Amino acid sequence: MVSLHIKLIFNGYVVFYCAAIILPNICICSLFSMPSSDQFSKDPGTFPVATNGESFPWRELRLPNVVIPLHYDLFVHPNLTSLDFVASEKIEVLVRDATQFIILHSKDLEIMNVTLHSEEDLRYRKPGKKLNVLNYPAHQQIALLVPEKLLADLKYYVAIDFQAKLADGFEGFYKSTYRTLGGETRTIAVTDFEPTEARMAFPCFDEPLFKANFSIKIRRESRHIALSNMPKVKTIELEGGLLEDHFETTVKMSTYLVAYIVCDFKSVSGTSSSGVKVSIYASPDKWSQTHYALEASLKLLDFYENYFDINYPLPKLDLVAIPDFGSGAMENWGLITYRETSLLFDPKTSSASDKLWVTTVIAHELAHQWFGNLVTMEWWNDIWLNEGFANYMELISINATYPELQFDDYFMEVCFEVIKKDSLNSSRPISNQAKTPTQIQEMFDTISYNKGACTLNMLKDFLSEEKFQKGIIHYLKKFSYRNAKNDDLWNSLSNSCFEGDFTSGGFCYSDSKKISSALTFQGVNVEIKEMTATWTLQKGIPLVVVEQEGRLLRLRQERFLSGVFQEDPEWRALQERYLWHIPLTYSTSSSNVIHRHILKSKTDTLELPEKTSWVKFNVNSNGYYIVHYEGHGWDQLITQLNQNHTLLRPKDRIGLIHDAFQLVSAGRLTLDKALDLTRYLQHEKNIPALLKGLRHLELFYHMMNRRNISDVTENLKHYLLQYFKPVIDMQSWSDEGSFWDRLLRSALLKLACDLNHAPCIRKATELFSQWVESSGKLSIPTDVLKIVYTVGAQTTAGWNYLLEQYERSMSGAEKNKILYALSTSKHQEKLMKLIELAMEGKIIKTQNLAVLLQAIARNPKGQQLAWNFVRENWTQLLKKFDLGSFAIRYIISDTTSHFSSKDELQEVKLFFESLKAQGSHLDIFQIVLETISKNIKWLEKNLPTLRTWLLLRT
């Protein structure tokens, strides 16, 4: 799954916005631990009460492992007029220990009839036994009570008839609507089950460890088509003009990957090198926007099959653009679903950054077909094995298939973004306990996705790309169609032999040498599991402090904490028991050679081979750590940047800018020193480095503007326009140049117009007027489209016209640009109208509410409006989004985390306390409070310095 918000940040260069196969012989029993002998003999009085008042025979959130599913026969008939569905299923189960009940997950389903058949019943055509059903909604479970004990080691068949309404939100089996060019509203039915919503569509063992095969039949009207994980085998004509599609049985998989859709979409198809049919589906009026996705999917699928040395396991792969979708995309096996803006590409309105986003999401979801689908984590505490790997594989696959995108430079921002959260005490380990559905949903965050990916990238850099690739191939082949955990991955990376390489004695040999879990690195044995545990089982990010004394380097590691200073009383306690095994890399002024060292202790010393004027750690920013150069270290690096910045690698220059401003937030470096480091940027030709420095300065401008600190705001405005004037003046209002040329153009012109730079406003106004005069038919270069719309939205006539165009547009990319422009209005009544439209969900889809509130909250005229709306409409928001959903978490974060005053902190704290009193609690609450406290502290410490520094330079 792609979290829409991970890359949904409004800035200059980040996008506005997650067959029949012979299975290996696996002992099913070995996948599940046996229950304790007294598991079912507890005092019945301690068990929960079912809805009918009877005692419910199971008390745990996790299902018992006494009965496990082998195969589901599932029939579904959705009615897109009455917006409900009737369904039935037959589940083949294996009983592992005698029991008198079966516990399943079920949520908001009306169970009408349940019968049980033994194998003997089916053999002799005996009628099944009707079962009583108990419902325990608090755990989303039902109990099927059997009249006679089910016997161990036998198979049984559970038949269930049930029905429900199509869900209103974005989970389970839900309805989605779209408008045609002619203005007609059409309805489709679609599923989205990750992580715990398959139970909303059919009673099931809804945990990733309970893998099974699925045979699916869907009944529909002739004007619709049905899609599912596997290809269609046949269609049967029924009375009344209905059709019933039968699909091939799936490979063995978890319930959250089951998918089916009933729609009237059109597709474009192609065939991969290995013969897989790939199809892109969209609503009929948007069919023309599917072609880039097909090209990218075919290239990426071919790449993954070669890279993993494992063919894609299914005969077909469908990618479908869904009009209403909660996240960015979902990796259902063989039927991947996407938000329209994550799949469709319109050459007339999609910018360079839009193309990057579409490519990235496709790469992410296709990687999941192996990481997540073929090999699945045992439980949601290790969801990073799915999401971190998918994010990491974006880097590997896009570099190989679309080198012109220079994805390496974009990936650095992925790591920098997560460091903001991971440097707070409220962060969490990559692998973390999660029990309830809400806690499980919270695991889908930037720690699982971004930190997981960045940690893997660091490990790849340490092991070498060849050994890392060999290790993950071993992991995928060994655990295909099974579940895995952290240690399984580390063992595979330590031991890169394949199953066929093992001798009869159980040892693996490679080049006649026995391979153990310890790697030899510079003469030192390194335990991979021991090393990686320090990155996955403890939260936070290390700070490496370097002090140079001639040829001697003194090293020290600490826990890096943003917003907590060394002089603070809590600092020392927050440092205790934190230690990482850090694979360090460094280069010096004397040599471009990359030196390596593993820092496993709190302190260490290194001796350089020759005298050097400076040393730079974390070469190419491949390591997940921050570096502070004590003594004259920073001065020496700043001097080198000013004298000849090209002696440092481009990624090292980016890393220095990032680390310097992070160190300011921790009180380890003064703001004027970090700002002095950016002065060399007037000579910088590397666009990602230039953009990195620009982004920090722009961030300060928006912070001062929101706080209405007018003197600093004006001085920052003059400094930015003066300092970046040469490069701003070089920009053309076109789509010419390389990918990064285009990102730079978008970022610089957006900044110039945000700062009311007269030439920028004049050109944007001229293009907007021409566009309006052409009745929206004029083709404006896509990379400046959002800028033009934003300037145009500042007049009442322009704002109204844009809202009309928003309703008419068939391009999701264009809608995003218009919505952002509308959100920049200085009139609060207009901003409130946008929020109301998004809550209503007809003109502005409710799926876009979180994005809209984020944009409005960043508008100085809208920040209080957005926050007040969330407080006053919390109950209504929870009716539209689940408590732990992406949307709710980002609505909370985006409307509050920019606050920087004690009054605002108190307001937010009181609101969160009232929610906790009502039983609503999320980890994001503590993250937000810590972020606001950090903002307050930053201003108190750095505002005088910023003011003085600017006065000296403007």
Please identify every residue annotated as catalytic. Answer: 365
Report which residue type is found at 94: L
Q: Which of 293, 346, 343, 356 is nearest to 688 (CA)?
A: 356
The span from the CA of 712 to the CA of 724, in Å, is: 18
Residues belonging to the binding site for Zn(2+) are 364, 368, 387
Amino acid at 947: R
Contact 621, 629 (CB under 8 A): no
As a whole number of angstroms, the distance between CA 751 and CA 140 comes to 50
Q: Between β-strands 154-165 and 232-237, what pairing exists: parallel, antiparallel or unpaired?
A: unpaired
> Could you tell me if 641 and 653 are in contact, meaning their C-beta atoms sit under 8 angstroms apart?
yes
One-letter identity of residue 132: N
**Identity at 574, one-letter amino acid code:** L
Q: E strands along 858-946, which residues? A: none
Q: What DSSP string describes 155-180?
A: EEEEEEEEEEEPBSSSSEEEEEEEE-
Bind-site residues: 364, 368, 387
Contact between 822 and 803 (Cβ < 8 Å): yes
Count Cβ atoms below 10 Å from residue 776 Cβ, excluding itself. Answer: 15
Backbone phi, psi, residue 85, to 5°:
-150, 150
What's the DSSP call for residue 450?
I
Rounded CA separation 924/273 (Å):
45
Distance from C-alpha of 387 to C-alpha of 197, rounded to nearest angstrom: 18
| 3-class state of residue 648 by DSSP | coil
Helix axes 650-665, 633-644, angle to 10 degrees: 140
**DSSP 3-state of 542:** strand
Nearest to 546 by CA among 561, 536, 558: 558
CA–CA separation, 216 vs 314, rounded Å? Answer: 15
Q: Identify whether the C-beta of residue 259 lies closer than 8 Å to the C-beta of residue 332.
A: yes
Angstrom distance (rounded) from CA 389 to CA 382 = 11
Q: What angle do CA 675, 678, 682 make, to 5 degrees?
A: 140
Between CA 86 and CA 89 the distance in angstroms is 11
Q: Are 234 and 200 spatial neighbours (Cβ–Cβ below 8 Å)?
A: no
Nearest by Cα to 32 from 212, 209, 195: 209
How many angstroms separate the CA atoms of 624 and 462, rounded? 12
Residues contacting 933, CB < 8 A, separation 6+? 563, 905
Which tokens belong to 383? Answer: 């969801």
Contacts (Cβ under 8 Å, ≥6 apart) of 194? 1, 256, 257, 330, 331
Contact criterion met (CB below 8 Å) for 574 and 520: no
Structure tokens at 255: 């319930």
The Cα 210–Cα 942 span in angstroms is: 54
Pairing of strands 509-510, 513-514: antiparallel
